Structures are given as structure tokens and as C-alpha cells.
């Protein structure tokens, strides 16, 4: 999937595949952007922005990363109120917790058209 395919309609499709309470949370608390970098994604707290979180989808050449999962994973970090300023062990636990949250949501990814 390339940058042109990761756009607002794509992100809306991912959000719409989440449970209704999470959809509402995302619409009120998250914004999205796309950058070129090596990691799958980032979720940043933004004090100076309209919404509390900016979710950044990072493009990469790694074909094993599923863009749907990356976006949902970063949403999970914000939904769980994870912080970027953690010790390594805490960061690893946050990654596990975000993965567990995505599994709990049981995304209907077949309904998302890139």
C-alpha cells in the first residue's frame, strides 16, 4: 500500500471498523497524518493542538506491516492513554497492551477498502 492509498477515506474506514464507543473517542480526540520513516506508526500527545492526539502513519518499505493494523494499534495507544515518556520495560508492556486492545476490538477489516 502506498502513500496515496493511506488517506482520509482509508483512515475513516479503519475508524468505522472499530466499536462505536471507540469511533466516538477517535472522532473527538485524534487527528491523523502521514510521514515517511522507518517505524510503523506513532501516537503523540499534542497539548497545543485542537485534539489531544496526533496519530502519525509512517510509510516504510516493510511489506509485512498491515496499514490497517498499524492505524488501529496507534489508536489503541491513545485509547489506553499511553505515554511516550516511559522506561523500556514500560514501553514493551504498552506495545503488548495496544496489541491486546486491537485484538479485543475484532476489526472488520474486510469492510475497509484502501
Domains belonging to the chain, first-starting first, are 3-106 (3.30.2010)
For the chain, what percent of residues have pLDDT higher than 70?
A: 65
Q: Which of 3-12, 14-23, 44-53, 103-112 has the lowest mean pLDDT?
A: 44-53
Cell 505515554: give the residue: 83
- Does position 113 have pLDDT exceeding 70, yes or no? no
Which triple of cell numbers denotes residue 9? 477515506
What is the pTM for the complete model shown?
0.76
CA 58 to chain centre: 10
Amino acid at each position: 500500500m502506498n502513500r496515496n492509498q493511506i488517506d482520509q477515506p482509508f483512515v475513516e474506514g479503519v475508524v468505522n471498523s472499530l466499536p462505536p464507543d471507540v469511533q466516538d473517542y477517535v472522532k473527538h480526540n485524534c487527528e491523523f497524518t502521514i510521514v515517511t520513516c522507518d517505524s510503523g506508526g506513532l501516537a503523540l500527545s499534542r497539548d497545543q493542538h485542537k485534539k489531544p492526539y496526533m496519530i502519525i502513519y509512517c510509510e516504510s518499505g516493510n511489506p509485512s506491516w498491515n496499514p490497517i493494523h498499524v492505524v488501529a494499534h496507534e489508536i489503541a495507544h491513545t485509547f489506553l492513554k499511553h505515554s511516550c515518556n516511559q522506561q523500556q520495560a514500560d514501553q514493551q508492556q504498552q506495545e503488548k497492551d495496544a496489541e491486546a486492545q486491537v485484538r479485543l476490538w475484532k476489526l472488520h477489516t474486510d469492510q475497509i477498502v484502501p
